[in-house]
Amino acid sequence: AQSVTQLGSHVSVSEGALVLLRCNYSSSVPPYLFWYVQYPNQGLQLLLKYTSAATLVKGINGFEAEFKKSETSFHLTKPSAHMSDAAEYFCAVSRSSNTGKLIFGQGTTLQVKP
C-alpha cells in the first residue's frame, strides 16, 4: 500500500533562510509525487509534481523538489523564505496516472519569522 510521511508537523525559519520540508513515500511501483500548498482559509493549490521525467522538479514561487528513489524521498526546498510562504504544505503520492487514488501526508505548517 502507498503511504506518505512528512517529517515535522511544524517548521519555523527566518525570512531569507533556506526552507526544507521533508517527505518520504512508500510505494510498490514508481510513483507520481506532488507538493500542494494551502494558505489560510483556502483550498489547496499545486506547487509542483514529479511524473517520471526529470528528478529535479521546479515549481511555482521559487520552490523545487528532488525525487530520490534510493532514499524514497521527495523533499521540498526554497533557497530564501519570504513571509508570504507561510502556509501549510502537503506531500501526496499516486500510484499511476490513471488511478483515482491520491494519498496525502499529514501536512507541515511553515512559519516564517521576520
Partner 1 sequence: EAQVTQNPRYLITVTGKKLTVTCSQNMNHEYMSWYRQDPGLGLRQIYYSMNVEVTDKGDVPEGYKVSRKEKRNFPLILESPSPNQTSLYFCASTTRRFDTGELFFGEGSRLTVL
CB of 32 to partner 1, least distance (A): 5
Compare residues 86 and 103 and give the one whose CB is closer to partner 1.
103
> Min. distance of Cβ 25 from partner 1 in angstroms?
13
The distance of closest approach from Cβ of residue 16 to partner 1 in the complex, given in angstroms and rounded to an integer, is 29
How far is the C-alpha of 95 from the C-alpha of 2, rounded, in Å? 7
Q: Give whichever of 24 and 94 is closer to partner 1, judged by the CB atom.
A: 94
Measured from the CB atom, is 42 or 114 closer to partner 1? 42
Contacts to partner 1 by CB under 8 A: 6, 9, 32, 34, 36, 41-46, 49, 51-52, 90, 92, 94, 97-107
* Rounded distance between C-alpha atoms, residue 88 and residue 26, angstroms: 22
Question: b/e per residue, 45-62, with b = 16+ CB within 10 A?
Answer: eebbbbeeeeeebebeee
The one-character DSSP state at 41 is T
